[in-house]
Each structure stands twice: as structure tokens, then as C-alpha cells.
């Protein structure tokens, strides 16, 4: 296993990203503060370039490749947000990108990747192995940009934690907890390193969709376990099979716990984000917000940061959820 990244890797990543990405603001709603009896600060990575946080890790990863490696192009597999992050980063470096995407990924995500100049290869997520799809490109000499289990990817996502702790300090508040959507664990592990460095007593929570709570069950068992096949969820961004080796190594040390939320709760959080925050959030991007209603996180009188990790959702899906 590669060495997990530390705070210095995250600081280097933040320098590389400076001026290229959006320093997403902290947003709060007096109504929601009243509802939860605490102060909730939302970090909307929905407003990030490409509509999700994924560009942070992807660009940082591409920065760590030699110019010669980069010139041969990059390849990735992703349901959509990582795909857009890699495609945008490759375009920024002026190199070729090939992205393997599930044929049932949201049309908006596939369309955005193509618009950024990347080549999209679709595959059947239930029948084909994604590694088999990308292997020919790797054999041609293209570098794989993994979705989460990579020190440079984790360090890139961790820059959100650096920003968050600086923004909380500027507001004069100490964070009692940070709540983060979790698929493979790149986002939660990266942020946890930055949060724990600045404030060891701040709790870090990962939130997963029901039936895809591999991190929650892995934490309980003390080792990585996979999700049972045969389930589905509207949270397309978070449907990973199991935690990464590096991300889990970090998360088992840093997390206060992991929480599973239903699709119904994620959809309700999307409606709340629309009504109270005026933010468009995709299902998987809204699970940390949904977890505030789970009762598992102490909110009364506390200050809690919630990461809204992405906003790439099709019009039809979004309209359906808003009208429900």
C-alpha cells in the first residue's frame, strides 16, 4: 500500500490548485439553524468547477505526473463527477483523456465530459469489469487516474478541509463536527487529515447511501468489507463496492463514525437545499445534509460543517424530486 498523505501533501496540493479552482464559500440558513438547534455551515462544492469537488484531486494527481507521462494522456473510470474532474484537468494541461463511464450514468455527466474534449467509452456497470475497459489504454502508456484510492487524489480532496478550517476560524467559530458524503472514502479521508491537524477534537463523520454503507460496516468490523450486490440507489456518485485501502487506513483512525441514509432522506435534503439554500445538489452530494436528521450527530448548541459534494443531476430527475 502507498503511504497515506499528510497535512504537508494537502498544503502542496492547495498551492497547486490556488487560482484554478473556486474557494467555495460557507453558506448558512437561520431557518435550518433553528430547525437543528445548532449552527450549520454548508460548504457547497456544487459551485466548484465541473460542479463537484472531484477536480481538486484529479488536477493534483495530474500535477504529480512527469511532463512525459502526462503527454501520453490519462485514463479514468467514473460514474461522472471524477470523469468531469479528470476531463477538465486534462484540458487544463492540454493532454488527452479517455474516460470509461457506465452507460446508465446521468446524461448530463456524460455530456459534460464530452464537451470538455475527453473521449468517453461506455460500459455496462452490471456485466463488464471497469478495469478490463481501461486496460488497453493503460497498456498504450496512458496514466490511470484512480477515483479515490491514491495519495495525490486524497490530498487534493483534502484541500476542502484546509479551506473549511480557515473559513471557520475567520468566522470565529470552532467546529464540533464535519459531515461528509462518502463513496470510496477519498473525500472524507482527505478532509479528515486537514481537520484533525487543525482541530483534533472536531468529529469527522462519513455518510453513505443505505445498502452502500461499506465504510460504516468496515469501521464496525475493523477491516474492509464489500457491499452486497443487487441493490440500487439514486445516489449515483456514491455506488462504490468497498472502501479503498489507503482511504480506509485514514478513515479508521480519523472518523467519529459513518452513517447510512435512505434515498428518501437524500431526496428530502435536496428539497431542503433548494428551499433554504437555493442550491442545486445531486442525490449523492446531499447525503451529509440528510444525515443531520438521523439523530446520530449531536447538533444541539453545536457548530457543524456539512459538505455538499456535487450538483450534477439531470433536469428530469431533479424536477421529479422537486415535485415529490
Task: Name the residues annotated as catalytic.
Answer: 54, 309
Answer for which of 20, 131, 220, 275 binds a second copy (CB under 8 A) is 275
Is position 47 an interface residue for a second copy (rule: CB under 8 A)? yes
3-class DSSP assignment, residue 119:
strand
User: How many chain residues bind a second copy (CB under 8 A)?
Assistant: 29
Residue 272: CB minimum distance to a second copy, A: 11
Which DSSP string do the residues of 55-117 spell out, in sequence order? HHHHHHHHHHS-HHHHHT-EEEE-SSHHHHHHHHHHHHHT--EEEEEETTS-HHHHHHHHHTT
Site residues (CB under 8 A) for a second copy, limited to 284-313: 311
Cα–Cα distance measured from residue 61 to residue 58, given in angstroms and rounded to the nearest whole number: 5
CA distances from 202 to 175, 226, 249 (A): 6, 28, 19
Site residues (CB under 8 A) for a second copy, limited to 106-145: 108, 115
Half-sphere exposure of 189 (CA within 13 A, CB side): 28
Site residues (CB under 8 A) for a second copy, limited to 22-41: 22, 25, 27, 30-31
Answer for which of 274, 293, 296, 302 binds a second copy (CB under 8 A) is 274
Residue 8: CB minimum distance to a second copy, A: 28
Is the CB of 22 or the CB of 131 nearer to a second copy?
Answer: 22
Q: Which three cell numbers stand for residue 299?
A: 447538533
Q: Which three cell numbers stand for residue 51?
A: 460542479
Is position 173 an interface residue for a second copy (rule: CB under 8 A)? no
Residue 75: CB minimum distance to a second copy, A: 22
Residue 98: CB minimum distance to a second copy, A: 21
Using only C-alpha atoms, the chain has a radius of gyration, in whole angstroms, of 18
Sign of the Cα torsion 265, 267, 270, 276 reads negative
Determine the interface stretch with a second copy among 46-54, 93-101, 142-150, 217-225 (rule: CB under 8 A). Answer: 46-54
Cα–Cα distance measured from residue 93 to residue 109, given in angstroms and rounded to the nearest whole number: 21
Residue 311: CB minimum distance to a second copy, A: 3
Is position 277 an interface residue for a second copy (rule: CB under 8 A)? yes
Q: What is the largest distance, in Å, between two alpha-carbon atoms of the chain?
A: 56
Is the CB of 144 or the CB of 274 nearer to a second copy?
Answer: 274
3-class DSSP assignment, residue 39:
strand
Answer for which of 10, 280, 286, 306 binds a second copy (CB under 8 A) is 280
Is the CB of 221 or the CB of 278 nearer to a second copy?
Answer: 278
Sign of the Cα torsion 83, 84, 88, 91 reads positive
> Which residues contact a second copy by CB under 8 A?
22, 25, 27, 30-31, 44, 46-47, 49, 51, 88, 108, 115, 271, 274-275, 277-281, 311, 315-316, 318-320, 322-323
Amino acid at each position: 500500500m502507498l503511504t497515506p498523505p499528510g497535512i504537508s501533501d494537502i498544503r502542496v496540493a492547495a498551492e497547486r490548485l490556488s487560482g484554478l479552482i473556486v474557494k467555495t464559500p460557507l453558506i448558512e440558513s437561520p431557518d435550518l439553524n433553528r430547525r437543528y438547534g445548532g449552527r450549520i455551515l454548508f460548504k457547497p462544492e456544487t459551485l466548484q468547477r465541473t460542479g463537484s469537488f472531484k477536480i481538486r484531486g484529479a488536477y493534483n494527481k495530474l500535477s504529480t505526473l512527469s511532463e512525459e507521462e502526462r503527454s501520453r494522456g490519462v485514463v479514468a473510470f467514473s460514474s461522472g463527477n471524477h470523469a468531469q474532474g479528470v476531463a477538465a484537468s486534462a484540458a487544463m494541461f492540454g493532454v488527452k483523456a479517455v474516460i470509461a463511464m457506465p452507460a446508465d450514468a446521468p446524461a448530463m455527466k456524460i455530456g459534460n465530459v464530452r464537451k470538455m474534449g475527453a473521449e468517453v467509452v461506455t460500459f455496462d456497470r452490471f456485466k463488464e469489469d471497469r478495469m478490463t475497459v481501461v486496460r488497453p489504454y493503460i497498456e498504450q502508456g496512458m496514466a490511470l487516474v484512480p477515483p479515490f484510492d491514491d495519495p495525490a487524489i486524497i490530498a487534493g480532496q483534502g484541500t476542502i478541509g484546509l479551506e473549511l478550517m480557515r473559513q471557520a476560524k475567520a468566522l470565529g467559530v470552532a467546529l464540533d463536527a464535519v459531515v461528509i458524503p462518502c463513496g470510496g472514502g477519498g473525500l472524507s479521508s482527505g478532509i479528515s487529515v486537514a481537520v484533525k491537524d487543525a482541530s483534533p477534537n472536531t468529529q469527522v463523520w462519513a455518510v453513505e447511501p443505505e445498502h452502500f454503507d461499506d465504510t460504516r460496516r468496515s469501521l464496525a468490523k475493523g477491516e474492509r468489507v464489500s457491499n452486497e450486490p443487487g441493490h440500487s440507489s439514486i445516489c449515483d456518485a456514491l455506488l462504490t463496492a468497498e472502501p479503498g485501502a489507503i482511504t480506509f487506513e485514514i478513515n479508521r483512525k480519523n472518523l467519529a463514525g459513518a452513517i447510512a441514509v435512505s434515498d428518501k432522506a437524500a431526496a428530502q435534503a435536496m428539497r431542503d437545499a433548494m428551499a433554504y439554500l437555493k442550491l442545486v445538489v445531486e442525490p449523492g452530494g446531499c447525503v451529509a445534509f440528510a444525515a443531520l436528521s438521523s439523530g446520530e450527530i449531536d447538533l444541539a448548541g453545536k457548530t457543524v460543517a456539512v459538505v455538499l459534494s456535487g450538483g450534477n443531476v439531470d433536469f428530469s430527475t431533479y424536477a421529479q424530486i422537486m415535485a415529490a
